[in-house]
Structure 1
Amino acid sequence: MEKRAAQGSQKRSEDSILKRSPFDLILNQIQRKTASVGKRERPSVTRFFKGLAEEKSKAEKKKEIKTGEANNSIADGHHQDVSETGESELPGPETADWRKVKQFCQKLGKKPNSKSMNLNNCGLTVTDIMELVALLPLLPDVEELDVSWNDFIGGTLRPLTLELHRVSQLKILRLSNCRLTADDTDALGQALKLIPHLEEMDLSWNGNIGGNLHPIVQRFQKGCSLKVLRLIDCNLTADDGISLAQVIPLLASLEVLNISSNKNIGRACEHLLSRLRFLPKLKSVFVNNCALQEGSFTALAEATLHLSGMEELDLSWNKCVGGNLKKLLDAMSVATDLQVLSLNSCNLVTEDLAELASVIQAGHLERLQKLDLSYNDSVADEGWTVFFQCLHKLKDLSDLDISLRPLSSRYCGAWFGSLLASLIKMPTLTDFGVQRWVLTTLEQRQLESFNKKNKRDIHFDCCCSAQDITK
């Protein structure tokens, strides 16, 4: 019995030891070692562990204070989610509804923002669109909605547009490259009245809009807030052009119109372009690569006379400009704010460059900052010479491009000296495109030493020497 009792006592002792924490075991060992030293030594050990306890207590209190402050901040509506860039993603409190928005965005690899729902290029599916529809009531402050480059959502836009009244403060709507269908354009047109503050709409790269633009434009209202309209490469037809023309007077706030790469309206946009005169705030017009005919170009030139605030005009890849540039340049005396003029691949001729030089000499393009004359190989050397002789009048010009077409090459000729003389007097020029123009050895040395000699930093893009051509 005694033996069994001893064994039981030993087992309970071992269990007790196993149940002790590592901290207790260490403390017990220290106490045993210090027991032989005497009572005077023990207080130091006690103070040591008392200090540890106090530090632990302070840390816990500090943590509690921070937690309390965070909770108070949430209660006061001052809590903010901060993105990796340090920008505020949410000005309001962290709520259960907002967590749903965050989960949806994070699933698609995007960061949530109470003002902007950017779902560009997310591979959205029909299911995602329906989930977005359910979230719209939780996003009353959204001003930007971008679902561009999601080509699986074509034909599913109606459920989304029916709920746009939930985001009545919407200012920017981007739906480019979404394979929109005729039903989508009809649904979008009906939704315009639900978003009265819309300032920018981008429907570019939706080929099926061609022939189906009327349901959208017919619903623009007088006093519309729209400032930016982009319809790039939408396969617009002549009928569509007649429809962007009928509503022009309703778009008094329009500042940017981009109908580039719609070649089918080239013959039928004369009426549209002539009515641009009714857009007093228009600043940027992009009609590049539209296969404009002479009548349409003339209509645009005449409309420009009424657009004194024009800042950017892109007519690139319209061959009808060649030989007719004077019609447009006659209006430049009015468009004194023009900063960007793009005439890339316009089949310009020597007379066009001479007319341009005359306008520059008269000071009508003094605010021009970017001029693109590239891919106009049909201009003779004398045209470039006259142009470069007065180029220095463009004091604000920072970007100039006169590059030749690919697979072509040509010696600079007599105009190189005139160019250098003008460059010295152009303090703002930083980029000069001269691709495929051939330099002699002397001209190459002069160009290489120009920056150092004149304390400039102009980037000369891809000049080639005679040796390069030989090779």
Structure 2
Amino acid sequence: MSQTRKKTSSEGETKPQTSSVNKFLRGSKAESRKENNDLKTTDSQPSNWIQKTAPSETAKPLSSEMELRSSMEKYEQFLQKLGKKAVNKCLDLNNCGLTTADMKDMVALLPFLPDLEELDISWNDFVGGTLHSITQQMHLVSKLKILRLGSCRLTTDDVQALGEALEMIPELEELNLSWNSKVGGNLPLILQKFQKGSKIQMLKLVDCTLTSEDGTFLGQLLPMLQSLEVLDLSINRDIGGSLNSIAQGLKSTSNLKVLKLHSCGLSQKSVKILDAAFRYLAELRKLDLSCNKDLGGGFEDSSAQLVMLKHLQVLDLHQCSLTADDVMSLTETSVHLSALEVFNLSWNKCVGGNLKLLLETLKLSMSLRVLRLSSCSLVTEDVVLLASVIQMGHLAKLRKLDLSYNDSICDAGWTMFCQNVRFLKELIELDISLRPSNFRDCGQWFRHLLCAVIKLPQITEIGMKRWILPASQEEELECFDQDKKRSIHFDHGGFQ
């Protein structure tokens, strides 16, 4: 087979191969059938594109076409076996339970996919230890733009082979190595081939056991990645120690749009370090600093540069042990984030009894679509304040509101809230579920909720787990479900 390809390549027959493969990758079975019919008549009536490229009718073009046809049929059979369909320039084998034999079949097919732009073999355990068989073929898929190898149990040999192969795919725009522990301690081996002018736009290294040395290396590398738009280093708890280097490198990534440092061992000091970098990240759209429990108190004397993030749409600070002073400081800054659409403060107990500190943010964030205040120890006064803000129309664009796991709100507070929730005309999801350990009887506020829902044209999901309905209110809900044409799911997990 390789000898035939070599002969046809030297005689200028590579163009028909590429053209035919492109047709197949478009995933059209009709085109595939037509192509097969054309190939059957090559002895007497060669197809138009063969006539254009072949200098004369010889056995070699026919042999090449037969070989290509056979390979494409094998490719289609390979995908069908895995329950996948051909997609233009994309080979998606994510979570397919690939075996060692499947890996060999895939590698054998790579030479016939020269225009491949996306390869995803994430969540396949048997990739680990065999990646070298793929990387040896990287020069055949040099147009690759997206490479996803998340949770593949990569070995140290795998990551070294990958590092040597990356220079063969200069068009690479996305690299995902998340959930591979052997990446940790070996990051320089993988990314050492990245040079200034690299086209990489998305780099995901979630839960890779990155070391402080890896973080330092990454900080030095970031200035080379001028096209970088997404950087996700979440669940790497040791990189907090090298945050100075990372933050210094971030100053050179002016195109960055997404920065995720969820559960990275950040401290109070980390906020000040990052704050110095924010002024250089004017294009940032999403900032995730969640699940850094030592972050609390860090915003008290900092966050001044957050106001520079004029395009910020998502700010996630859930489970950061924020203090009341943190919340106050964020409210002097967040009111200037006019593009903010998602604000997550869940699992920060200090918000309870202090929602008034967020009053200006709630009033002035006209673009807010998602507000999450789950498990914030909210009290009745907080919900009454929220109801008044809603009534005044300040949260008119809100689509998702999460007030779950706030068990200290009395029936009067829920009544006030449910009477005013009808003003959230764009609301799709509402969650007022109780904690798993708590069950309570629904008060009369439930009738107000049903009345409000009638006036909410887009709502589809209401979470109210562990609220117990008496028989009379359960009948009301059943009648409501029968009478209304819209499908609204009350997620109660079974009333008791």
Give the TM-score band, short-chain normalised: 0.7 to 0.9
> 1:326 aligns to what?
356
Match in the other structure for 1:108: 127
Residue of structure 1 in register with 2:432 after alignment:
402
Whole-Å separation in 1 of the counterparts to 2:437 and 2:286? 35
Aligned mates of 1:145, 1:193 — CA distance in 2: 17
* 1:367 counterpart residue number: 397
**Is the contact between residue 294 and residue 320 of structure 2 (CA under 8 Å) also seen in structure 1?**
yes
Residue of structure 1 in register with 2:56 after alignment? none
User: CA–CA distance in 1 between the matches of 2:211 and 2:45?
Assistant: 56
Work out which of the residue numbers 138, 155, 170 in structure 1 matches 2:185: 155
Instruction: Give the partner amino acid of 2:287.
Output: L
- Aligned amino acid, residue 178 of structure 2: S
**2:480 aligned with 1:450:** yes
Q: CA deviation at 1:266?
A: 0.8
The residue aligned with 1:315 is 345
Q: In structure 2, how many angstroms separate the alpha carbons of the residues matched to 1:275 and 1:59?
A: 69
| 1:268 CA displacement | 1.8
Q: Confirm or deny: 8 A CA contact 1:410 1:437 kept in the other structure.
A: yes
Change in CA separation of 1:163 and 1:95 when aligned onto 2, cut-off 3 Å: farther
Q: 1:271 to 1:197 in 2, by over 3 A?
A: farther
Instruction: Give 5+ residue unaligned stretches, structure 2.
Output: 1-38, 51-59, 92-109, 135-140
* 1:171 aligned partner: 201
Structure 2 equivalent of residue 136 of structure 1:
166
- Are 1:390 and 2:420 counterparts? yes
Larger Rg: 1
Aligned to 1:254: 284
Matched residue, 2:212: 182
Residue 367 of structure 2 corresponds to residue 337 of structure 1: yes
Per-residue CA distance 1:255-299 (angstroms, 9 max, x = gap):
100011000111223344343111101100000000001111111
Which amino acid is 1:435 matched to?
K
Instruction: Using the TM superposition, name which of 364-373 and 103-112 deviates more.
Output: 103-112
CA drift of 1:94 comes to 5.0
Code of the residue aligned with 2:43 in structure 1: it is K
Q: CA deviation at 1:329?
A: 2.6
CA RMSD of aligned residues (A): 3.3
How much has 1:333 moved relative to structure 2? 2.6
Where do residues 454-469 of structure 1 align in structure 2 (5 Å cutoff)? 454-462=484-492, 464-465=494-495, 468=496
Q: 1:104 Cα deviation (Å)?
A: 10
CA separation of 1:62 and 1:214: change in aligned 2, threshold 3 A: farther
Q: How far apart, in 1, do the equivalents of 2:433 and 2:369 lie?
A: 20
Alignment of 1:12-51 (within 5 A): none
Partner amino acid, structure 2, of 1:353: V
Distance 1:411 1:251 in 2: 49
Deviation, structure 1 residue 214: 1.1
Q: 1:36 — aligned with what?
A: none
Q: Residues 97, 380 of structure 1: CA spacing in aligned structure 2 closer, same or farther, 3 A cutoff?
A: same
- Amino acid aligned to 1:327: L
Contact 1:140 1:167 in 2 (8 A): no
Q: CA deviation at 1:242?
A: 1.8
Residue 366 of structure 1: how far off its partner (Å): 0.7
Which amino acid letter does the alignment assign opposite residue 251 of structure 2? Q
Superposed, 1:246-285 pairs within 5 Å as 246-285=276-315
Deviations 1:376-419 (A, max 9, x none): 00111111100000111111101000001112111111211211
Give the distance between the partners of 1:123 and 1:146, measured in 2 at CA: 13
Q: Aligned runs of 1:119-134 on 2, under 5 Å? A: 119-134=149-164
Aligned pair partner of 2:456 in 418, 423, 426:
426
Distance in 2 (CA, whole Å) between partners of 1:130 and 1:102 is 19
1:341 touches 1:371 (CA, 8 Å); kept in 2? yes
Out of 247, 251, 254, the position equivalent to 1:221 is 251
Residue aligned with 2:343, SS: strand
Are the counterparts in 2 of residues 437 and 463 from structure 1 also a CA contact under 8 Å? no
Q: What amino acid maps onto 1:108 in structure 2?
A: V
In structure 1, how many angstroms separate the alpha carbons of the residues matched to 2:120 and 2:382? Answer: 58
1:425: Cα distance to partner?
A: 0.6
Instruction: Tell me the distance in 2 between the aligned counterparts of 1:85 and 1:166.
Output: 37
Q: Secondary structure of the equivalent of 2:287? A: strand
The whole-number CA distance in structure 1 between the counterparts of 2:406 and 2:431 is: 11
Aligned to 1:40: none
**What is the deviation of 1:88?**
2.5
Which whole-Å CA distance do the structure 1 matches of 2:112 and 2:272 have between them? 49
Distance 1:168 1:422, change over 3 A: same
Task: Kindly provide the amino acid, as one letter, of the partner of residue 283 in structure 1.
Answer: Q
Give yes or no for the alignment of 1:202 onto 2:232: yes
Matched, 1:236 2:266: yes
How far does residue 321 in structure 1 lie from its aligned partner after superposition? 0.4
Question: SS of 1:316's equivalent?
Answer: coil
2:241 to 173, 193, 211: 211
- Greater Cα offset, 349-358 or 156-165: 156-165
Return the alpha-carbon distance in structure 1 between the equivalents of residues 290 and 334 of structure 2.
18
Structure 1 segments unaligned to the other structure (5+ residues): 1-56
Identify which of 318, 326, 347 aligns with 1:288: 318
Q: 3-state DSSP class of the match of 2:147?
A: strand
Task: Please give the alpha-carbon distance, in whole angstroms, between the structure 1 residues aligned to 2:112 and 2:207.
Answer: 34
The alpha-carbon distance between structure 1 residues 104 and 382, as it changes in their structure 2 partners (threshold 3 A), is closer
> For residues 313-333 of structure 1, what are the alpha-carbon distances to aligned partners after superposition, in whole Å with 9 as ceiling and x for unaligned?
000000010111122132223
Q: Do the aligned partners of 2:263 and 2:290 also contact (CA within 8 Å) in 1?
A: yes
1:89 maps to 2:89: yes
TM-score normalised by structure 1 residue count:
0.79
2:383 aligns to what SS in structure 1? helix
* Contact 1:369–1:399 (8 Å) recurs in 2: yes
Structure 1 residue 141: Cα displacement:
1.1
Q: Distance in 2 between matches of 1:331 and 1:163?
A: 45
Q: Which amino acid aligns with 1:352?
A: D
| 1:46 alignment counterpart | none
The total of aligned residue pairs comes to: 405
Counterpart AA for 1:86: A
Which of 381, 398, 412 pairs up with 2:442?
A: 412
Q: CA deviation at 1:454?
A: 1.9
